[in-house]
Amino acid sequence: MKNKQNVLPKKEVESVFALYSSGEFQKAIDLIKELNNKYPNQPLLFNLSGACYQGLGELAGAAKMFEIAVSLSPRYSEAHFNLGVIFQALDQKEDAIKSYKNAISITPNYPDAHNNLGNLFLDLGQIAKAVESLEWAVAYKHDFAEAYNNLGNALNAQGNEVDAITNFKKAIVYNPAYAKAFFNLALVYKDLGNKEYFIKYISLALNLKPDWGAAYFHLSQLTKYKKNDPKIAEMLSILNNNSLGINDRTNLNFALAKAYEDIKDFDKQFKALNTGNSLRKKELNYSIERDFKLFTRIKEAFNPPPSILRKPLNNSSTITPIFILGMPRSGTSLVHQILDSHYKVRGMGELNYLNKFVFPIISKNNNLDKAGLTEGDLKIIREEYLNSISSLQLKEGVFVDKMPLNFRYIGFILSAIPEAKIIHTTRSPFATCWSIYKYFFTGNAYSFDQTDLAKYYGLYMDLMQFWGGLFPDKIYEVNYEYLTIKQKSETQKLLKYCDLDWDDNCLNFHANKTAIKTTSSMQVRQKMYQGSSEAWKEYEDYLQPLIKGLSQN
């Protein structure tokens, strides 16, 4: 029999809370169902039910419950927030943003909602919005360590390393055991070339989290190991822990490979290197067929070639992008540092914006193989990319986007942003691929198997030939080996292509204090040196699958 008063007793709610708090989610759900019969249409019960389904990992059920809660009580800010959390977990970013904004419109003083919203904007590359949301989070909650850490990440992405450092340090003040904040602070100092502070803070991160594989990996890149180094024994001891997660295990194997390289124990180096690569490939469940299909799809988009957008028709921009691209480890960081040293240029490092706007068009547009790219597609790419860049608040008129894998999208760039400059860096294929296999590039799925890597290099070469045929004289090539031998003349030609006047600072790129967010962050702070492209020959016996594969391209 239903309660005529329809008032939900506090004691009943406390019973549900007790079950939820003790992790007895299913019992809590069963009790809520009984209460729903007695006290129908109670938003609180549906909100609690959603939290229980979330605890069980049943996200679809949780979303349904939270949606019912907000439909019964549209001003229920907590339920809107909880719904946002579920949408975010389901990777439904736009729905999550809407839910968080609903929560904030009802309760402006909602630090967690501002924090989560800021993280979503950061993930979407909307850096200015991310900074604004995260600043609101810490304004409403002055000791919000997590939000300070996230704000540090957003400011770092914006190129504001000084303020990023300030916010990471605030996160540490409010939570001295916050290992992630120490880790992020260390990486900023690494990008800035400050080895002393990097080692200081990465060591503090490891003190708080002694089995953190990623911390060991980053530390290994700036450490010169010696025989019987106690750090090697530390890493081996951690790897003996069978409960260690795959990510930590992968990072530790790459760190050990670097240590064994330093002490010239090549057998152990390749045992660790092959183990780390195999673990990462398994984790990603990668097949080279995935990239065969992607490259085929890209070519289909340019059959027939689209009409190139005329710049004045599309939000004429006051900034000129220079794209440095090619295979990773081909000299892209060196060229970036040279151009960033020019007084008119701002180097922005590896921006993932273009991939975010182009990839959905390639993967979802089923008309590409019939009609190719439309003017509407190109307008979207242009406007979204330039809008994302404008959020970075650049003062310089020329900026550099050094995402190597943008070589896949050269045709999209030149069609949608015809004022852009394209610089293609090349290097010995054996040196390039060995360096890729040796370093832990977490996102380059093709790089974790020597045979896959050789096949991918073949796809790259084929696509570059395709772009060269479609856009003759639009792609400027810089050869890494030539650049190291003829630094001044090659730099002069590079600046001429970019329509930049001469600047002596470009020869002294190693003195540039700009943050460098790549694997080469320390290398490009050294003067130009030669011979690195021959290093792979020392490992020929271990690289036979790679050598054989490259020879067949």
Candidate ranges 8-22, 47-61, 534-548; pick with highest mean pLDDT: 47-61
Write the pLDDT tens digit of every residue in 384-435.
Answer: 898 888 777 777 689 999 999 999 999 999 999 999 999 999 999 999 999 9
Write the pLDDT tens digit of every residue in 198-208.
Answer: 999 999 999 99
* CATH number of the domain where residue 426 is located: 3.40.50.300
Write the pLDDT tens digit of every residue in 289-338.
Answer: 999 999 999 998 898 888 887 654 445 567 889 999 999 999 999 999 99
Contact 81, 101 (CB under 8 A): no
Mean predicted confidence (pLDDT) in 475-493: 95
Mean predicted confidence (pLDDT) in 17-29: 94
10 Å CB burial of residue 162 (0-12, 13-18, 19+) is exposed
Distance CA(22)–CA(287), nearest Å, equals 43
At 254, the pLDDT band (50, 70, 90 cuts) reads very high
Give 321's strand partners: 399
Instruction: Indicate the SS3 state at residue 532.
Output: helix
pLDDT of residue 6: 67
Q: Is residue 148 part of a domain?
A: no
β-strand 421-426 against 345-347: which pairing, if any? unpaired
Task: Report pTM.
Answer: 0.86
Q: Is residue 130 part of a domain?
A: no
Write the pLDDT tens digit of every residue in 124-141.
Answer: 888 899 999 999 999 999
Q: Which are the contacts of 248, defined by CB distance < 8 A and separation ≥ 6?
A: 211, 212, 213, 214, 238
Q: Is residue 427 part of a domain?
A: yes
* Helical (H) or strand (E) element with 422: strand 421-426
Q: Is residue 360 part of a domain?
A: yes
Written as one letter, the residue type at 184 is N
Q: Is residue 11 part of a domain?
A: no
Q: Is residue 509 part of a domain?
A: yes
CA distances from 225 to 152, 218, 254, 257 (A): 31, 14, 14, 11
Domain extent, residue 520, equals 289-551
DSSP-H helix ranges across 301-374: 332-340, 353-364, 368-371
Write the pLDDT tens digit of every residue in 373-385.
Answer: 888 889 999 998 9
Q: Is residue 365 part of a domain?
A: yes
Helices 429-438 and 266-284 cross at an angle (nearest 10°) of 80
Phi-psi region of 222 (alpha: psi -120 to 50; beta: other; left: phi over 0): alpha
β-strand 398-401 against 320-325: which pairing, if any? parallel
Whether residue 304 has a cis bond before it, omega within 30° of 0 = yes
Q: Is residue 497 part of a domain?
A: yes
Write the pLDDT tens digit of every residue in 498-532.
Answer: 999 999 999 988 776 666 556 555 454 455 555 67
Domains contained in the chain, number:
1
Supply the mean pLDDT for the chain: 91
